[in-house]
Amino acid sequence: MTPTANQRILLQTDLGLLHPTPEQEVQLDHYLSMAHAAISREGVQLNPDAPEDDALLSMYAAWIYRRRASPDASGMPRMIRAELNDRKIAQAGGSA
């Protein structure tokens, strides 16, 4: 998965990295790819043309980024868990 410019900008803004170095850009792309893989393992297929999926991907990547800085942090934020569950229900044919 190659992150899009919009996905990277959403993540940079969330993390307050408005002018990242080239090295930080590589790191952010890596976290976006990690988030995409983790979301896929949850059984959620992301639509590259859906702004809400870009937002979910960047939120997840930001959580991964912050979690590495604070290893004793608790589990996944409820907001992300709720978004993942909503996507699962919608993709299973329910209404979310």
The answer to whether residue 53 scores a pLDDT higher than 60 is: yes
Residue 18 lies in a domain: yes
The answer to whether residue 52 scores a pLDDT higher than 80 is: yes
The answer to whether residue 16 scores a pLDDT higher than 90 is: yes
CA-nearest of 3, 81, 4 to 44 is: 81
- For residues 19-30, average pLDDT: 96
Residue 84 lies in a domain: yes
Per-residue pLDDT, 94: 64
Token pair in block for residue 18: 């408005």
95 three-state secondary structure: coil
What is the rounded CA–CA span in Å between residue 38 and residue 25? 20
Per-residue pLDDT, 1: 84
Residue 86 lies in a domain: yes
Residue 96 lies in a domain: no
Number of domains in the chain: 1
- For residues 31-35, average pLDDT: 97
Residue 30 lies in a domain: yes
* Residue 51 neighbours by CB under 8 Å, 6+ apart: 6
Residue 72 lies in a domain: yes
pLDDT band at residue 49 using 50, 70 and 90 as cut-offs? confident
Domain boundaries, position 74: 5-91
